[in-house]
Amino acid sequence: MSTDSRTGIPTISAVVPVYNEENNVETAVRTLVEVLNKGFGDYEILIVESGSTDLTAEIADKLAASDSHIRVIHQINREGLGSAIRLGFANSTMNYILYIDGDEPFDVTEIGRIIPLLKTCDAVIGYRIGERENLKRKLFSSVYNGIIQFFFRLDVKDVNFSMKVISRSLLKKLKLRANGCFYDAELIAEIRRTGTEIRELGFVYTPRTHGESSLDKISVVLDILFEMFGYWFRRKLLGR
């Protein structure tokens, strides 16, 4: 286990991608500060802000100015969820890296539950407990998870749940390229490729109260399919 040499407790970088989350980002980040400060030897929070058109960027900058543990990375243009996460990963400095969405998809105070698992593994991913907001989202999720499982045999309960933790040593072995929402599946597929054990942990899903998700838009679905088949082609046909 990679730890703070002074305390023997894991150190962690939390990557929080945000876009137009002015109603969510401050609460989510302040709660993260409280949780990580109590449970980890050292920590940092990297807010990756991707060209928001509301007050998200300004709020993120104020949070960083008030706490040295918080950093903001601004993407001038919205380049996709995967692009934002990869940018956060590349700028992280701690021994474990946590990825979590900025809309608080679960009770953030529950993150401390991952610490015992990090003693024996390099990858922990969350899965949703509870129903989605509506039938459309539920159908989309079921079909997408089914397709991903069919092509890549990931053998996990929930591909897209935004709570994933990996060690820095594992990150160095992964070949991550996805710019869009296929990123979650690519991350798990790459972890499986290395033969690393994945531990799963359930979190009660918290429905979004502000803003809206874009994951079920046709353009997003097409982007996911494009990146999925590109990854499949590289893995299966080119042996990469």
pTM: 0.88
5 lies in some domain: no
**What totals of helices (H) and strands (E) does the chain contain, helices first?**
7, 7
104-117 CB burial, b ≥16 within 10 A, e <16:
bbbebeebeebbee
3 lies in some domain: no
95 lies in some domain: yes
Could you tell me the CATH number of the domain that includes residue 69?
3.90.550.10
17 lies in some domain: yes
Q: What is the pLDDT of residue 5?
A: 42
2 lies in some domain: no
238, pLDDT greater than 70 = no
Provide the mean pLDDT of the chain: 87
31, pLDDT greater than 90 = yes
4 lies in some domain: no
State the total domains in the chain. 1
Q: What is the pLDDT of residue 30?
A: 94
Residue-wise pLDDT for 173-221, tens only, equals 999 999 998 999 999 999 999 999 999 999 998 876 555 555 556 677 7
6, pLDDT greater than 50 = no
Residue-wise pLDDT for 56-68, tens only, equals 999 999 999 999 9
Residue-wise pLDDT for 125-143, tens only, equals 999 997 756 677 778 778 8
6 lies in some domain: no
1 lies in some domain: no
Residue span of the structural domain in which 190 resides: 11-237
